[in-house]
């Protein structure tokens, strides 16, 4: 099976450098027309320049591909809407959105200013919302769409000094889960990429010998699969150094407490059983959780769940 994107149109945010650049080049190499979006700011989100995005466009064009640069700030709804409108006017559609743009403002939670917390959430989480909102009606109308969110192990599991970044990245998983349900009948599939790569975002966070292994090019194959025609749906793909894994949220079967034990002490007493992984499930929508808990309550009373 050969994965191609001929006739497809993709928008990649934060595509002037690092992972975004590799994603844009990879899509173009396999036939997609690509909007290379990049504000051109510093790692903390300050400043702006169109040089990085234009350089990637030139790379694509020199290789025989078709691309155009765009400098919209992903947090600016009007600018993003104009980018999407320009894309549709030029190429007729938008098939793929890769939400990759991001900034870092790392500090421990005790020392972090609220403005730095807001700024990171604004770019990573709300920036992805703004871009997705802009392409959503286009994808619904054409009955096709592939969207990739960029989450992180910092959101899934935590990372010292990144409370703002982790909160934003986990928020994208929640966004994905609901968009999957709402986009299903329009063949809009939404997935998350959880990458680790040597970019300017990570260059001072890891030792050099580790960074040497983490080429962005070793992550992009996973991204290309997540936005392909036969892509999965509602998947979190971890990717680094050519290795790939799926992160899956499970819920244990749990226990039901009798009226006599319905106390904090009762919860503490049964804590091990509550966390017993035997019989755990991957839920595919939020309603499954209360259904499971209500079923246990009904069974404890000898009732048949409705």
Tell me, yes or no, whether 110 and 211 share the same domain: yes
Residues 204 and 173 in one domain: yes
* Residue 157 a catalytic site member: no
What gap in Å lies between CA 111 and CA 79, rounded to an integer? 33
Residue 2 lies in a domain: no
- The pLDDT of residue 190 is 98
**Domain assignment present for 305:** no
Contact 70, 44 (CB under 8 A): no
Any domain includes 4: no
215 shares its domain with 269: no
Are residue 268 and residue 197 in the same domain, yes or no?
A: no
274: pLDDT strictly greater than 90: yes
Instruction: Decide: residue 108, CB within 10 A, 0-12 exposed, 13-18 middle, 19+ buried.
Output: exposed
Q: Tell me, yes or no, whether 116 lies in a domain.
A: yes
Task: Inform me whether the pLDDT recorded for 206 exceeds 80.
Answer: no
Q: pLDDT at position 305, please?
A: 59
How many Cβ atoms from other residues are within 10 Å of residue 160's Cβ? 10
User: What are the pLDDT digits (tens) for 263-273?
Assistant: 999 999 999 99
Q: Is the pLDDT of residue 82 over 90?
A: yes
Q: Does 187 lie in the same domain as 294?
A: no
* Cα 25 to chain centroid, rounded: 19
Average pLDDT over residues 191-202: 79
pLDDT interval class at 200 (50, 70, 90)? low
Residue 210: pLDDT over 70: no
In this predicted structure, what is the pLDDT of residue 180? 98
| Residues 73-98, mean pLDDT to the nearest whole number | 98
pLDDT at 299: 83
> What percentage of the chain reaches a pLDDT higher than 70?
92
CATH number of the structural domain spanning residue 29? 3.40.50.720
pLDDT given at position 43: 56
Residue for token pair 């290795």: 243
Is the distance from CB of 151 to CB of 236 less than 8 angstroms? yes
Whether 93 is covered by a domain: the verdict is yes
- pLDDT, tens digit (0-9, with 9 covering 90-100), for 47-71: 556 799 999 999 999 999 999 999 9
Q: Determine the pLDDT at residue 208.
A: 65
pLDDT of 140-150, one tens digit each?
999 999 999 99
Q: Is the predicted pLDDT of residue 304 greater than 80, yes or no?
A: no
How is residue 57 written in tokens? 């466009």
Residues 100 and 208 in one domain: yes
- Going by pLDDT thresholds of 50, 70 and 90, the confidence category of residue 26 is very high
Phi (first) and psi of residue 262, to 5 degrees: -80, 70
Query: Are 204 and 278 in a shared domain?
Result: no
> Which pLDDT belongs to residue 49?
65
Does residue 205 surpass a pLDDT of 60? Answer: no
> Confidence class of residue 293 from pLDDT cuts 50, 70 and 90?
confident
Indicate if 104 and 126 belong to the same structural domain: yes
Out of 165, 225, 250, 283, which one is annotated catalytic?
165
Number of structural domains found in the chain:
2
Whether 253 is covered by a domain: the verdict is no
Query: Is residue 252, in this structure, part of any structural domain at all?
Result: no
- pLDDT, tens digit, for every residue of 35-45? 999 998 555 55
Both 269 and 124 in one domain: the answer is: no
Residue 188 is part of which domain span? Answer: 9-247
Mean pLDDT rounded to a whole number for the chain: 93
Q: Of 223, 247, 271, at which residue does a domain stop?
A: 247
Is 195 in the same domain as 232? yes
- Do 233 and 154 lie in one domain? The reply is yes
Task: Kindly write down the DSSP assignment for every residue of the chain, as one continuous string.
Answer: -----TT-EEEEETTTSHHHHHHHHHHHHTT-EEEEE-----TTS----SHHHHHHHHHHHHTT-EEEEE---TT-HHHHHHHHHHHHHHHS---EEEE-------B-TTT--HHHHHHHHIIIIIHHHHHHHHHHHHHHHHT-EEEEEE--HHHHT--TTBHHHHHHHHHHHHHHHHHHHHHGGGTEEEEEEEEE--STTTTTTS-HHHHTT--GGGTHHHHHHHTSTT--SS-EEEEETTEEEEE---B-------GGG-SHHHHHHTHHHHT--TT-B--SSTTHHHHHHHHHHHHHTTPPP-
In this structure, is residue 187 part of a structural domain?
yes
Query: pLDDT (tens digit, 9 = 90+) per residue, 227-243?
Result: 999 999 999 999 998 99
Are 74 and 111 contained in the same domain? yes
Q: Is the pLDDT of residue 4 over 60?
A: yes
Cα–Cα distance for residue pair 86/242, rounded to 1 Å: 35
Give the pLDDT score at 47: 55
Q: What is the pLDDT of residue 217?
A: 94
pLDDT of residue 300: 81
The closest alpha carbon to 30, from 61, 62, 10, 6, belongs to: 6
- State the CB neighbour count (10 A cutoff) for residue 83: 24
């Amino acid at each position: 099976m050969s994965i191609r994107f001929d006739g497809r149109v993709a928008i990649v945010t934060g595509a002037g450098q690092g992972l975004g650049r590799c994603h844009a080049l990879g899509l173009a190499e396999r036939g997609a027309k690509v909007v290379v979006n990049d504000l051109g700011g510093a790692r903390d989100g300050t400043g702006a320049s169109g040089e990085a995005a234009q350089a990637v466009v030139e790379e694509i064009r020199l290789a025989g591909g078709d691309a155009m640069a765009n400098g919209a700030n992903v947090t600016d709804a009007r600018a993003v809407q104009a980018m999407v409108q320009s894309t549709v006017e030029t190429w007729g559609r938008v098939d793929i959105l890769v939400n990759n743009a991001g900034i870092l403002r790392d500090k421990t939670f005790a020392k972090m200013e609220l403005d730095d917390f807001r700024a990171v959430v604004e770019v990573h989480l709300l920036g992805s919302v703004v871009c997705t909102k802009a392409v959503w009606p286009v994808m619904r109308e054409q009955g096709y769409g592939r969207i990739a969110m960029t989450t992180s192990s910092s959101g899934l599991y935590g990372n010292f000094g990144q409370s703002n970044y982790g909160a934003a990245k986990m928020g994208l998983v929640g966004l994905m889960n609901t968009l999957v349900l709402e986009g299903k009948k329009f063949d809009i599939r939404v997935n998350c990429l959880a990458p680790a790569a040597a970019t300017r975002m990570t260059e001072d966070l890891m030792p050099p010998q580790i960074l040497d292994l983490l080429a962005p090019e070793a992550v992009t194959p996973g991204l290309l699969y997540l936005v392909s025609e036969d892509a999965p749906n509602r998947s979190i793909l971890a990717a680094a150094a050519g290795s790939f894994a799926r992160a899956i949220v499970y819920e244990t079967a749990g226990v039901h407490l009798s009226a006599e034990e319905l106390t904090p002490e009762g919860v503490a007493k049964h804590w091990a059983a509550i966390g017993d992984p035997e019989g755990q499930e991957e839920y595919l929508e939020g309603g499954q959780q209360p259904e499971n808990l209500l079923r246990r309550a009904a069974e404890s009373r000898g009732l048949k769940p409705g």
